[in-house]
Amino acid sequence: MYGIGKNIGGDFTIGGALGVFMITLSRILPAFTLAVPYIFGLSIAGQVIVVIFIASIIEEVFFRGALLGFLTKKVPELATIDSLNRVKLLIVLSFFLIGFVISNLMFQTGIVYAVLALMSLAVYAWWDKIPTLNMNFHVANIITGIGFGLYHIKVYAGEISASAIMSVSSTFITAIIVGIIAGYLVRWRKSLAAGIGLHMCLNALLYLGFVIVT
């Protein structure tokens, strides 16, 4: 289970730099398709809050934090009390942003993130009491990456089905690759701040590019 280390700025910057590299790579390799959804019915400010902040924080905390932690072996030295408390504080603070989304009539989007946040908070709060599946990290990271990809199929296509996967197959595969890379990045830095930096940089550059182009 990974928390948020003390070197938040350094970890976040390394993640952001990797995000810039991935954006550059996507421009060179068309098959490496990165995308963010346009959320109809929400103001530009609301979309920035959802796409750049809420999505980056909650998805990383859930997939690279709670889910990956649940699948792998417990390694006590990685999960210091301070680092786990920082994650719990971040989740609690994110509920203010989720509340903003719900108050702006984006109920379904807000509820999805609220559920992911609550599940993550439960895992972090009772980490010392819950059993884990003790999987090899590499296997667990691949599973988490696939889950990350399927989650984004639901976001982009509105459902998880064979036809939905085929309709956005390149985005699906890229999401899996990004998820797996983010897992190794968090493992290397021993901090979710790196994954959040990567995710936030990708979403910010992609979304701002989409707005400027369209």
pLDDT in tens, 162-187: 665 555 667 788 899 999 999 999 99
- 113/85 Cα distance (integer angstroms): 20
Beta-strand runs (E) in 147-186 = none
| Residue 174 domain-assigned (yes or no) | no
| Residue 161 domain-assigned (yes or no) | no
| Residue 35 domain-assigned (yes or no) | yes
Q: Domain range spanning residue 125?
A: 8-132+185-213
Q: pTM of the predicted model, to two decimals?
A: 0.90
Cross-strand pairs, 135: 72
- pLDDT higher than threshold 50 for residue 214: no
The token duo for 90 is: 């971040």
| Residue 69 domain-assigned (yes or no) | yes
**Interval 35-85: pLDDT, tens:** 776 666 667 777 888 889 999 999 999 999 999 999 998 876 555 778 889
- pLDDT at residue 34 in the model: 81
Cross-strand pairs, 72: 135
Total number of domains in the chain: 1
- pLDDT higher than threshold 60 for residue 111: yes
| Residue 172 domain-assigned (yes or no) | no
| Residue 28 domain-assigned (yes or no) | yes
Number of separate helices (H) and strands (E) present in the chain: 10, 0
| Residue 32 domain-assigned (yes or no) | yes
- 139/170 Cα distance (integer angstroms): 22
| Residue 137 domain-assigned (yes or no) | no
Q: How many residues would you count in the chain? A: 214
**Interval 187-212: pLDDT, tens:** 999 999 999 999 999 999 888 774 44
